[in-house]
């Protein structure tokens, strides 16, 4: 059973629908026991990092997440909360990944938010099994994690940022696999194979 | 590198897909979810579903349809048509829409843009602008081009951005449905002036038209309906041709 963590930050239906299309059995839950006993855990997230982190702390789930040993996938804000901290709302996050999330300032006339389909390169994680550098994934974000020792994919938008991070059983994507067509579906399948 | 987006637009009336030439003479072209899946599989980068139902019953059908679309489609999709309050937008978000477009209601009451952006974020709101030239001025129209407003295209687009719009979808009512190409100079001026993406809509008749609006017109995306619905330019053909012209496209 896959647990999608519900910490009251908003709408989780795109992640739910993607799992539904994959035929995976999942439960949307804020219950520590259910999360601990899940085969896989997904930490989604929408909105603003400061508020999202406050909700997560309020739900009492931070220590639960830090103690998980099964595969955990953070998506977008969910992944940012797994970093050290975010400039958005000057937020201290969980510190699973050794990376800081900063406001994107790509320059060169590039627009923020970074929105649309962009390529990921230097793929170096089981998440990207059977994939080649240069595949397109869907992004919508204004903040991004810098490069770090845990970077397992990069995207170049003015500067390089971490498109994906991994540390042991913890995975994170800045892009939205649940909205990234066939490529995104493969990434979710790869995660669920772990 | 960020790809230029190709976006099929599906007009929905009472739960089925339609497309009219210049908004007149509708002709049924299929089931909205199936058609969306077909486009997604062919390489569409996003989908737009516009509700053109005039009745309350039709609107209810559309909200139910959005839930089905969200379940069946694995790329982002935008919905619009008749959204006049932040609650209307919220219902569609909960049903699974990635973005909403507002048009006439925002011209009538621009605060709607602030309200939706404030509640759900800029990435969730697209301001659609229909405009036509009158004495050399781009005048914003409402109600599918039927009514003239007091507003002018460039100042309204700028105001919409300042109020929190995440994207501008601009349709020239002089070109829509004519397949004679886009007003590229106008698009380029709009794109230079704004810091948010601009989607070009209405007027595409050929691959060259779309290539031109994405290069000379500087648009971030091109939206079209009939050329896709009637199979005149299949999406894979379009994307390969654009790629050959050196335009950054997701293949």
pLDDT digits (tens, 9 = 90+) for A86-127: 999 999 999 999 999 999 999 888 888 899 999 999 999 999
Element (H, E) at A86: strand A85-86
**Mean pLDDT of all residues in A136-165:** 97
Q: Is B162 on the interface with A (CB under 8 A)?
A: no
N-to-C CA span, chain A = 13
Do the chains contact at B45 and A18, CB–CB below 8 Å?
no
Structure tokens at A183: 């490529």
Note the pLDDT of residue B61: 84
Q: How far is it, in rounded angstroms, from Cα B235 to Cα B231?
A: 9
Do the chains contact at A11 and B94, CB–CB below 8 Å?
yes
Note the pLDDT of residue A45: 81
Kindly state the percentage of chain B with pLDDT values over 90.
71
The strand ranges marked E within A106-190 are 114-120, 135-141, 143-145, 151-157, 159-167, 170-173
For chain B, residues with pLDDT lower than 70 are 19-30
Q: Is B94 on the interface with A (CB under 8 A)?
A: yes
Note the pLDDT of residue B103: 94
Do the chains contact at B75 and A17, CB–CB below 8 Å?
no
DSSP labels, A55-70: HHHHTT-HHHHHT--S
> Would residue A141 show up in a list of annotated catalytic residues for this protein?
no
Using alpha carbons, select from B155, B173, B157, B176 the residue that is nearest to residue B165: B157
Note the pLDDT of residue B24: 40
Kindly state the percentage of chain A with pLDDT values over 70.
99
Selecting from A117, A140, A185 the residue whose C-beta is nearest the C-beta of B74 gives A185
Note the pLDDT of residue B29: 56
Fold for B5-244, please state it.
TIM Barrel (3.20.20)
Q: Distance, in angstroms, between B114 CA and closest chain A CA? A: 16
Do the chains contact at B96 and A13, CB–CB below 8 Å?
yes
CB B247, CB B214: distance < 8 Å: yes
N-to-C CA span, chain B = 13
Element (H, E) at A72: strand A72-75
**Mean pLDDT of all residues in A34-61:** 93
Residue B158 exposure: Cα atoms within 13 Å on the Cβ side: 9
**Mean pLDDT of all residues in A37-45:** 95
Note the pLDDT of residue B19: 62
Residue B101 exposure: Cα atoms within 13 Å on the Cβ side: 25
Note the pLDDT of residue B27: 52
Q: How far is it, in rounded angstroms, from Cα B239 to Cα B245?
A: 10
**Taking 90 as the threshold, does the pLDDT of residue A136 lie above it?**
yes
Note the pLDDT of residue A112: 86
What is this model's ipTM?
0.91
**Is domain A2-193 in CATH 3.30.565.10, yes or no?**
no
A111 contacts on B by Cβ (under 8 Å): 195-197, 220
Q: Is A67 exposed, middle or buried (0-12, 13-18, 19+ CB in 10 A)?
A: exposed
A14 contacts on B by Cβ (under 8 Å): 70, 96, 98
3-state class (DSSP) for residue A16: helix
Note the pLDDT of residue A24: 85
* Mean pLDDT across chain A: 95
CB A99, CB A151: distance < 8 Å: yes
Residues in chain A: 194
Q: How far is it, in rounded angstroms, from Cα B119 to Cα A147?
A: 31
Choose, out of B47, B76, B79, B249, the residue to mutate when testing the contact with A (most A CBs < 10 Å): B76
Q: Is B51 on the interface with A (CB under 8 A)?
A: no
Q: Distance, in angstroms, between B96 CA and closest chain A CA? A: 6
Higher pLDDT, A8 or B216: B216
Using alpha carbons, select from B218, B184, B179 the residue that is nearest to residue B198: B218
């Amino acid at each position: 059973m896959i647990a999608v963590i519900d910490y009251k930050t908003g709408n989780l239906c795109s992640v739910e629908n993607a799992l539904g299309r994959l035929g995976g059995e999942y439960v949307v839950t804020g219950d520590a026991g259910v999360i601990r006993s899940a085969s896989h855990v997904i930490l989604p997230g929408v909105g603003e990092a400061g508020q999202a982190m406050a909700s997560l702390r309020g739900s009492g789930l931070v220590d639960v997440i830090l103690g998980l040993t099964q595969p955990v996938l953070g998506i977008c804000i969910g992944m940012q909360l797994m970093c050290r901290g975010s400039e958005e709302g000057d937020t201290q996050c969980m510190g699973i990944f050794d990376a800081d999330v900063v406001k994107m300032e790509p320059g060169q006339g590039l627009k923020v938010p970074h929105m649309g389909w962009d390529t990921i390169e230097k793929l170096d994680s089981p998440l990207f099994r059977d994939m080649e550098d240069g595949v397109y994934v869907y992004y919508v974000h204004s903040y991004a994690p810098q490069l770090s020792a845990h970077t397992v994919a990069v995207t170049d938008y003015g500067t390089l940022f971490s498109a994906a991070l991994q540390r042991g059983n913890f995975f994170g994507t800045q892009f939205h696999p649940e909205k990234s067509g066939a490529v995104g579906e493969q990434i979710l399948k790869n995660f669920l194979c772990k | 590198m960020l790809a230029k987006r190709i976006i099929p637009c599906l007009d929905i009336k009472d739960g089925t897909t339609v497309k009219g030439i210049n908004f007149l003479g509708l002709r049924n072209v299929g089931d909205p979810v199936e058609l969306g899946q077909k486009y997604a599989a062919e390489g569409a980068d996003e989908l737009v579903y516009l509700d053109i139902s005039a009745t309350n019953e039709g609107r209810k059908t559309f909200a139910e349809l959005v839930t089905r679309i969200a379940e069946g489609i694995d790329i982002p999709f935008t919905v619009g048509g008749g959204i006049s309050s932040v609650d209307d937008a919220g219902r569609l978000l909960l049903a699974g829409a990635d973005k909403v477009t507002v048009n006439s209601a925002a011209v009538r009451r621009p605060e709607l843009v602030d309200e939706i952006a404030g509640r759900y974020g800029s990435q969730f709101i697209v301001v659609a602008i229909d405009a036509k030239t009158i004495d050399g001025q781009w005048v914003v129209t409402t109600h599918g081009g039927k009514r003239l407003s007091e507003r002018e295209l460039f100042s309204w687009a700028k105001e919409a951005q300042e109020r929190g719009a995440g994207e501008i979808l601009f349709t020239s009512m002089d070109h829509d449905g004519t397949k004679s190409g886009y007003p590229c100079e106008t698009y380029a001026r709009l794109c230079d002036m704004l810091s948010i993406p601009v989607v070009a809509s209405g007027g595409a008749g050929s691959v060259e038209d779309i290539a031109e609006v994405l290069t000379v017109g500087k648009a971030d995306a091109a939206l079209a309906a009939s050329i896709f619905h009637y199979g005149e330019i299949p999406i894979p053909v379009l994307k390969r041709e654009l790629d050959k012209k050196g335009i950054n496209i997701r293949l």
